[in-house]
Structure 1
Amino acid sequence: MTVSDPSMTVFGSAARSFEQLVHGLGTADWDGPGLGDWDLRALVGHTSRSLVTVIDYLKQPAPDGALVDAPGYYLAVRDISTAAGAAAITERGRQAGRDLGDDPAGAVSALVATALSDVQEAGDPAITVIGGIGIRLSEYLQTRIFELVVHGLDIARATGREYQPSEEVLEAATVLAARIATRAGRGRPVLLGLTGRARLADGFSVV
């Protein structure tokens, strides 16, 4: 994979926007509310796992066999998350927040630098991710873009901080959301909602 590959380029933009957002947070923000049962540190920690997992999973080649694409990844992970339970997912986010240490912004910058360097050198291998799922790196990066921008918006909403990802990042995340919805048999309400013909139900989510 080269720097001209769309997935790598947009992933880089998403990662840098997240890094900039984190560096704009104040000391008082970190213990404040984040999302659901997460305080802000846990929310940022959870979001940083979009970088950690790229670094870690590049060390895990996928065995021969069927690979999923980005929407298929989310459908598979939905079952894994249900089996794990909400409490386990919540604690994993809190631990990720603790792992950022005394300088969380510096830790995020280090993760961004490592992840982008590793992706730049990787090509487009098939990797093994959560639950033993096999997926091409270019497809997995699409899921990381989605996570970075969606949770970047969560962080901005929780803190009132400015966050403006690029049009390419927003487009990639929105397109993937539509693809996930369609694959899950929920494309019709999404299309009706996006075109102003109906309202999405309260709490509607594609993930």
Structure 2
Amino acid sequence: MTLHAHVETFRRAGDHAVTLAAQVGPDQWDAPALGTWTVRTLVGHIGRSFTTVVDYSAQPADRVDVPDSAQYYVVIAPMLTDPTQIDARAVQAGLTLGERPLDTLREQQARAAAALDTEDRTIKTIAGGMRLSDYLPTRIFELGLHSIDLARAIGVPEALPPDVADSILTLSVDVARRRGDSQALLCALTGRGALTPGYSIV
């Protein structure tokens, strides 16, 4: 897919996430959402899909270290082994939302949209240098999956925009293949087996 196509899907994923956040009731921000996270923590984490685009877009890289979106998740897998660090970042992101969390989230989305243009430049990410067109699907992935988490937490319909769901599914299959799980996945998808309990590509 082209950079333009990924940008459009990213914007739709962002619009969907913000629309869900707008449905959070005043008494729901401190309610349980995902594991130990509250709704505020989850929304703060969703906002990181906007802020990382802004931050990374401002940091050009000299070379491509990570050739595609699936490899990004392979590279960062060792960084995801300590849940306390992930939780700490999410909690801080939730606190950063301040007293008007929805307004802050909308501002984060607007800054991310402004950071995107027609140039498919190479940017610095936590995994190394990547083309912007390869990095954006990872943000669509995060926005979409955590939108489902948020919808479930606040009790509203969870259906994603079709192109967002398609993007996430394509990347998920690519990551599973990269991990050597192709046969297990195809058996599960065709009713010939089941994935191990708790299986996740991230």
Give the distance between the partners of 2:158 and 2:111, measured in 1 at CA.
22
Partner of 2:76: 77
Contact persistence 1:32–1:39 (CA under 8 A): yes
Give the distance between the partners of 2:100 and 2:157, measured in 1 at CA.
21
Partner of 2:139: 144
Give the distance between the partners of 2:66 and 2:86, measured in 1 at CA.
25
Partner of 1:185: 180
What pairs up with 1:42-191 in 2 under 5 angstroms?
42-82=41-81, 85-119=82-116, 121=117, 123-131=119-127, 133-191=128-186
Give the distance between the partners of 1:111 and 1:185, measured in 2 at CA.
36
- Partner of 2:27: helix, strand, or coil? helix
- Partner of 2:173: helix, strand, or coil? helix
The alignment covers a number of residue pairs equal to 201
Structure 2 residue 4 is the aligned partner of structure 1 residue 5: yes
Give the distance between the partners of 2:183 and 2:100, measured in 1 at CA.
45
CA-based RMSD: 1.5
Give the distance between the partners of 1:110 and 1:183, measured in 2 at CA.
36
Q: For structure 1, which runs of at least 5 residues remain unmatched after alignment? A: none
- Partner of 1:75: helix, strand, or coil? helix
Q: 1:197 aligns with which of 187, 192, 200?
A: 192
Q: For structure 2, which runs of at least 5 residues remain unmatched after alignment? A: none
Give the distance between the partners of 1:122 and 1:103, measured in 2 at CA.
32
Shift of 1:187: 1.7
Give the distance between the partners of 2:20 and 2:4, measured in 1 at CA.
25
Give the distance between the partners of 2:100 and 2:47, measured in 1 at CA.
14
Shift of 1:66: 3.3
- Partner of 1:29: helix, strand, or coil? coil
Give the distance between the partners of 2:74 and 2:66, measured in 1 at CA.
13
Map Cα deviations across residues 104-152 of structure 1 (whole Å, 9 max, x no partner).
1111111111111211x25111101115x11111111000000000011
Structure 2 residue 15 is the aligned partner of structure 1 residue 16: yes
Higher mean alpha-carbon deviation, 144-153 vs 188-197, is at 188-197
Give the distance between the partners of 2:173 and 2:98, measured in 1 at CA.
36
Q: How high is the TM-score relative to the length of structure 2? A: 0.95
Give the distance between the partners of 1:5 and 1:146, measured in 2 at CA.
17
Shift of 1:157: 1.2
Give the distance between the partners of 2:159 and 2:51, measured in 1 at CA.
23
